[in-house]
Chains A and B, each alone.
With several copies, the nearest count.
Chain A
Amino acid sequence: MIAFNDVTKRYPGGHEALKHVSFKLPAGEMAFLTGHSGAGKSTLLKLIVVIERATQGQVVVNEQNLTRLPRRKLPRFRRQIGVVFQDHKLLPEQTVFENVALPLVVSGYSPKDTPRRVRAALDKVGLLGKEAMFPLMLSGGEQQRVGIARAVVTRPSILLADEPTGNVDAAMSDDIMDLFRLFNQVGTTVLVATHELRHIERLGKPVLCLDDGYLVDRPADQWID
């Protein structure tokens, strides 16, 4: 469950990236997040993972009020959430296998189970066979898919994805969205930020649309091509 209650985020420079945003995504639901470049999509996702804290208003995730979550409770909280970052955030000096295994290692999963799980995750994004490579040896789309594998490897209760298909072709893009829908079908709460309205139409899921920090009812005309 993700709930925003009149949330405003003002960055140190003074720019308000989110303005009085309120919405509720019940547990087990899936939704898209869209809006023009700079509308505040990534900022909204960052508030959920507590990369940034709301300037005003409440963010509640899985019954936890994030405005009051102390620093030392952050690690355990974050382990419930899988995140696909817009800039991938892979570790360049660790192999693909190690990168994907990292959330398991961090959460203290049994090392015996790790290889099987990692391979299953890599298989889902079509990267089996690239385990031993380093991220800088991968193409942009492959890196993005490693990021997706890492986000889902722990089977988190919440899955956030920030522009997960920006670097892949149409077919792969569809596969990835289908993967997210599959996760949603087995109970994961999914929130995907994307520019590709095609997916929104295809999957028929609810849409949160941001326009210059405000949550608006539907994509403005200009976003429909």
Chain B
Amino acid sequence: MMGIWWTARRTSGLINYLKNNFRVFVRSTAQLTRPAGGAIMTVVAIGITLALPALLYVVTDNIDQLGRNWETRAQVNLFLVKNVENPAALQARLQSLKEIDRIDAVSPDQGLSDFKKYSGFARASDLLDANPLPWTLVVHFTREHSNIEAVQRFIDRAAQLPEVDNVRSDVLWLKRLTAVVEIGHRLVWVLAILLGLAVVVIISNTVRLAILSRTHEIEVIKLIGGTDRFIRRPFLYQGFVQGALGAVTAVLLTTICIEALREPITGLVGEYGSGYRLVGLSWTNAGVLFALGSGLGWVASRWSVGRHLKDIEP
């Protein structure tokens, strides 16, 4: 059985006050560990509920991370007019724009050999008399400016330059990625709200049932002259402790899940030789989770106990 312990609310001196609070705290906690006290179930329920948004967070964090490794940075190719012999001046000019990370200049020779490699027309292109390719500037955008608006703005301006014959970009790919990220963000929001709701509902439901099974005790203490605050205290501690232990469980569960996924994911991702490493739950985030769990436990208890104390007359 889940026990609730009442001890003195008010005694002389702060030390005694703290001592007493500590005693209630310890005993409320001790109740959770009693073998019969299947309150562990409640802790597990809260743990799982908290683990879900944590896992969700880690997943989006990792998608972010992955995105940084894959070609999420916008890239625009500027094909210069045939008579530009050296694009260094233009390159330097463009380089100063804040949205541009790096510019690679590809010479006509380099371009042709790339083309051969790309198209597989090694033999076919041998038939060409002269190299028909111009200088090309491959413009890499910074991560922050890798959005459709900035790229489109750049394209429009670049097209006006006299040195530029033609502008090519992978805006479609960028658009798609933006859409996916956008949808992902919305989904995370929806799930986060649902899960937050679930945590509150589960904790306050638990407290409700805990109070229900203590109706008799609460009534007796009221009759003896116990204030609402006195009655509430052990429930609050219990809610707090359950929330806190739930958070710890959540951290463990999340870590276990991530470790279970680490090997296959890095294995798969590693095939591209990218420097990507699976990101786990940081200490900061574990701290946030802990604060959230115990805070929610406290608040849900406070809310639930307040609502149900009134139901118990007189």
Residues of A within 8 A of B (CB): 49-52, 74-79, 83, 85, 89-93, 102-103, 105-111, 150
Q: Are A78 and B10 in contact (CB under 8 A)?
A: no
Separation of A110 and B17 alpha carbons in the complex (Å): 11
Q: Are B314 and A52 in contact (CB under 8 A)?
A: yes
- Complex formed: what's the CA distance from A111 to B12 in Å? 10
Residues from chain A with a CB closer than 8 A to the CB of B220 are 89-91
Q: Is the interface of B mostly helix, strand, loop or mixed?
A: loop
B223: chain A residues at CB < 8 Å are: 49, 51, 78, 83, 85, 89
Whether A108 pairs with B10 at a CB distance below 8 angstroms is yes
A92 to B213, CA, bound (A): 12
Q: Is the CB of A105 within 8 A of B6?
A: yes
Could you list 9 further interchain pairs (A-B, Cβ under 8 angstroms) beyond the known A78-B224, A102-B224?
A74-B222, A74-B225, A74-B314, A78-B223, A79-B225, A93-B217, A103-B224, A105-B7, A106-B226
- Beta-carbon nearest neighbor of B31 in chain A: A93
A52 to B223, CA, bound (A): 11
Q: How far is the CA of A150 from the CA of B230 in the complex (A)?
A: 18
Assuming A89-B220, A102-B6, is B225 touching A107 (CB within 8 A)?
yes
Q: Which residues in A have their C-beta under 8 angstroms from that of B226?
A: 75, 106
A78-B223, A83-B223, A111-B16 known; A106+B6 contact, CB < 8 A: yes
B230/A106 in contact, CB under 8 A: yes
Cα separation A111 to B314 with both chains bound (whole Å): 28
Contact of A108 among B1, B8, B216 (CB under 8 A): B8
Q: Are A105 and B8 in contact (CB under 8 A)?
A: yes
In the complex, 26 of the A-B residue pairs with CB atoms within 8 angstroms, ordered by the A residue number, are A50-B314, A51-B223, A52-B314, A74-B225, A75-B226, A75-B227, A76-B225, A78-B223, A78-B224, A79-B225, A83-B223, A89-B219, A89-B220, A89-B223, A91-B216, A91-B220, A93-B217, A103-B224, A103-B225, A105-B7, A106-B221, A106-B230, A108-B10, A111-B8, A111-B11, A111-B16
Neighbouring A residues of B217 by C-beta, 8 Å: 91, 93
* B232 / chain A contacts, CB cutoff of 8 Å: none
Contact A106 B9 (CB under 8 A): yes
The reply to whether the CB of B3 lies closer than 8 angstroms to some CB of chain A is yes
Taking CB atoms, residues of chain B closer than 8 Å to A52 are 314
Residue numbers in A under 8 Å from B16 (CB-CB): 111
Shortest CB-to-CB span from B306 to chain A, Å, is: 14
Roughly how many angstroms separate A51 CA and B226 CA in the complex, as a whole number?
A: 14
Most B C-beta atoms less than 10 A away, residue of A77, A78, A90, A105: A105
Q: What A residues does B6 contact at CB under 8 A? A: 102, 105-106
Contacts of B3 on A, CB cut-off 8 Å? 93
CA distance A75 to B10 in the complex (A): 14
Interface residues of B in 256-314 (CB under 8 A from A): 314
Most central of B8, B221, B222 by chain A CB within 10 Å:
B8
User: Which B-chain residue is minimally distant from A150 (CB atoms)?
Assistant: B224
| Contact partners of A90 in chain B: CB under 8 A | 220
| Distance in Å: Cβ of A113 to nearest Cβ of chain B | 11
Cα distance A225–B222 in the bound complex, in angstroms:
39
**Contact flag A106-B12 (CB < 8 Å), given A52-B314, A91-B217:** no
